[in-house]
Structure 1
Amino acid sequence: MSTETMPQNKSVTEFKLLGLTQDPMKQKMVFIIFLVVYTGTVVGNLLIIVTIKFSRSLGSPMYFFLFYLSLADICFSTSITPKLLADALSAKKVISYNECMTQVFALHLFGCMEIFVLILMAADRYVAICKPLHYPTIMRRQVCIILIILAWIGSFMHSSTQIVLALKLPFCGPNLIDHYCCDLQPLLKLACMDTYVINLLLVTNSGAICLSSFLLLMMSYFVILHSLRNHSAEGRKKALSTCTSHIIVVILSLGPCIFMYTRPPITFPMDKLVELFYTICTPFLNPLIYTLRNAEVKNAVRKLWRFKIGSESK
């Protein structure tokens, strides 16, 4: 008997994902497009990670945090995209219950880590621009390491809360998820119980983190940009370029997140596209934004590449 028509008293052991499209030709296009995007995400973020790791000129706290943002981006995209690619080539888009719960955990762990790192990067820019004389003392290496550890702990606590909520949901059929991945919002629609309280907890957890983080980041960058009026023209230009990159990433990351997690359990036609942009496209765009708008990163990449070519020629 198909799991889609199983009796109501039997627990669901697997889910079927509808994905982005049911059209075979469009599925092939989905595979090609997102294979390119995923490859670009991994290569671009790895390039940033390797460059920061081996470049002496990128030893400041800002690049220390950028290292972990790129790491979170790779893991975040990897928790979603490989399954999406596999399903695009498969007629049977099935994910087991355990795999589904693992995806929920990974999605929220690395997504939350990305948000916390963006907050740390904003804090670093605030201290560097608004309190330059105290910057070496406040943002010393030991402090940055502690902040990153706290970010991982906070992300783990958030994702643990999400997985506890997901594990409390009873599924007795049907098992068809109108989505390309497992997340709490589409899973709530399949649960054979009243999900009002769990959705409320979801909004107060994920929604509150997204919205409060966005407001905090926008306020911090407003203060930073306002304080730039006291800097020299050259210092203003450099700080403005860095802050603009960060603001773009914040809007791209948290805008869709706010849309998905700060509302009642209502389905909109654009839900898949919004979450697709948030989970797959943003990790691809982040390294492009940081490298194309950051002269120090571009110079460090060139030096590292020249050094590699020089070593191989010898």
Structure 2
Amino acid sequence: MALENHSTINEFILLGLSADPHIQALCFVLFLQIYFLTMTGNLMLLLVTRADPHLHTPMYFFLSHLSFQDICFSSVTVPKLLENLLSQKKTITVKGCLAQVFFLFMSGATEVGLLAVMAYDRFAAICHPLLYGQVMNSLLCKRLALGSWGLGFLNALLNILSAMNLEFCGDYIIPHYSCDLPSLFPLSCSDLSPSFTVMLCSSLYGFGTSFLIFYSYARIVSTILGISSSSGRSKAFSTCSSHLTIVLLFYGSAFLRYLMPVSGSPLELIFSVQYSVVTPLVNPLIYSLKNNEVKAAVKRTLRKYLQC
């Protein structure tokens, strides 16, 4: 199980997004701006939800965890992508590649856990408003957040332990800008069945969380349709619209990315960029632009610090 098993190949070549130097320069500027905006937006949302007392509620508690998670998610792939866009030698060591695989799995699994927890929070708030304060107490919120991070770590650990037994020989070119497990399978000369089985089992976690989200929103929609006043229905739906938009964006791009065969095609790269680069960027924008409470909290926080 040791990393020394990878004796045939010590590093891989990441082909990246394009071989054209002019396109690489444009991509570097674009992704550098995206990374800067991702860090700025998520850090601001994280600080605002922590600093403003009006946002000390379960929904924004989970949102702060999602913002921190998006910072980690984007940092797994974008810095290496930026480095390779400037470098002639677009290589990554086997150890570095496996480390990237581990943190990608952990980030993705943690994110789906947090999205499921946030769906349950909306379900409790809309379907059981009188019991909401008792159900979503501080201890339960901390346990749900910790459980999301713990299951994400366990998911990544199981996958990386099986991947560490793979031996790579022959071709060492990855037709991608980052390492992930499906991209490594064609390069291995080992038996892939254990790793494939573990990855398949871990994907059940993603399907399980998506089912919980679907069930929560089915109950939410049923409850909203039962509200007599149109203003009440509009207010109830507005509390879910931001989260539902993020769910559709994340799950849609993730399923399209991992259901496609590994080929390095432009369409596959587009879905990968949307999944691992664009989604962490737009999450804070969606919550900031579509949520009046967040916009008011940002104004209060900025006014407070500008006065200081």
Write out the 4+ residue segments of structure 1 that deviate beyond 6 Å after TM superposition: none
2:123 matches 1:126:
yes
> AA paired with 1:19?
G
CA-to-aligned-CA distance 1:8-63 (integer Å, 9 cap, x gap): x9511111100011110000111011111111111000010000010000011000
The answer to whether the 8 Å contact 2:110/2:152 transfers is yes
TM-score by length of 2: 0.93
> AA paired with 2:242?
S
2:57 matches 1:60:
yes
Q: How many residues align?
A: 301
Counterpart CA distance in 1 for 2:215 and 2:264 is 30
Specify which of 219, 223, 232 is matched with residue 227 of structure 1: 223
Aligned partner of 1:289 in structure 2 is 286
> AA paired with 1:272?
L
SS of 1:95's equivalent in the other structure is strand
Which residues of structure 1 form unaligned runs of 5+? 1-8
Aligned partner of 1:75 in structure 2 is 72
**Aligned-pair Cα RMSD in Å:** 1.7
What is the deviation of 1:229?
Answer: 2.7
2:151 matches 1:183:
no
**Cα 1:256–1:196 shift into 2, 3 Å:** farther
The sequence identity of aligned pairs, in percent, is: 38
The answer to whether the 8 Å contact 1:203/1:261 transfers is no
Counterpart CA distance in 1 for 2:14 and 2:20 is 14
Aligned partner of 2:212 in structure 1 is 216
What is the deviation of 1:237?
Answer: 1.8
Aligned partner of 1:137 in structure 2 is 134
2:302 matches 1:302:
no
Counterpart CA distance in 2 for 1:10 and 1:233 is 66
SS of 2:187's equivalent in the other structure is coil
Specify which of 97, 102, 106 is matched with residue 94 of structure 2: 97
The answer to whether the 8 Å contact 2:175/2:264 transfers is no
Which residues of structure 2 form unaligned runs of 5+? 1-5
TM-score by length of 1: 0.91
Alignment of 1:132-211 (within 5 A): 132-206=129-203, 208-211=204-207
SS of 2:121's equivalent in the other structure is helix
Counterpart CA distance in 2 for 1:171 and 1:160 is 20
CA-to-aligned-CA distance 1:128-148 (integer Å, 9 cap, x gap): 110111111110111101111
Aligned partner of 1:113 in structure 2 is 110
2:21 matches 1:24:
yes
Counterpart CA distance in 1 for 2:114 and 2:206 is 13
CA-to-aligned-CA distance 1:222-244 (integer Å, 9 cap, x gap): 21022013334333222212212
Aligned partner of 2:241 in structure 1 is 244
Counterpart CA distance in 1 for 2:299 and 2:124 is 29
